[in-house]
A = this chain, B = another copy of it.
Amino acid sequence: MVLTIGELSARSGVAPSALRYYESIGLIESVRTTGNQRRYAQPTLRRVAFVRAAQQVGLSLDEITDALRTLPQGRTPTKADWSRLSSSWRQRLEDQIERIERLRDRLDGCIGCGCLSLKTCTLNNPGDEAALRGPGAAFLEPTGRRRGR
């Protein structure tokens, strides 16, 4: 069974134009009918779903492309394929979770102490502390940046 672009769009929730765009950057593949229309293999559906999930957590299409490049597009991925991809992302996801938890806790802490205003709250008074160890305020952006800069 193969899918038309309309079917893939309906089942993935991703617009046809976006799917064409994904193909143009090498994120997904299609075969063509004699009349030049795209046909997608089902694994593409999972691939697309995965792309959206990864986007949700802040990965760029470039990064996702890189990661998925380690998976075969033609054959079904093996455990080893997955294991490779998974381990490289896991740390990243953990970092992301930690970053959000830190912001959440910071926010919670602020309810109690009224900080972003109190000098005494070092946890929430990062700028001046960071200045002591040089510029960058790296405590808030611990590892790789998400986009831009």
Identify the A interface with B (CB < 8 A): 10-13, 15, 42-43, 45-50, 52-58, 71, 76-79, 82-83, 85-86, 89-90, 93-94, 96-97, 99-104, 106-108, 110-112, 114-117, 124-128, 130-131, 135-138, 140-141, 146, 149
**Contact across chains for B111 and A79 when beta carbons are under 8 A apart:** yes
Q: Is the CB–CB distance between A103 and B13 below 8 Å? A: no
Copies of this protein in the complex: 2
A11 & B127 in contact (Cβ 8 Å cutoff): yes
Q: In whole Å, how far is A84's beta carbon from the nearest beta carbon of chain B? A: 10
Q: Is the CB of A52 within 8 A of B103?
A: no
Residues of B near A112 (CB, < 8 A) are 79
- B93 touching A107 by the CB < 8 A rule? yes
If A110-B82, A141-B13 touch, whether A117 touches B43 (CB-CB below 8 Å) is: yes
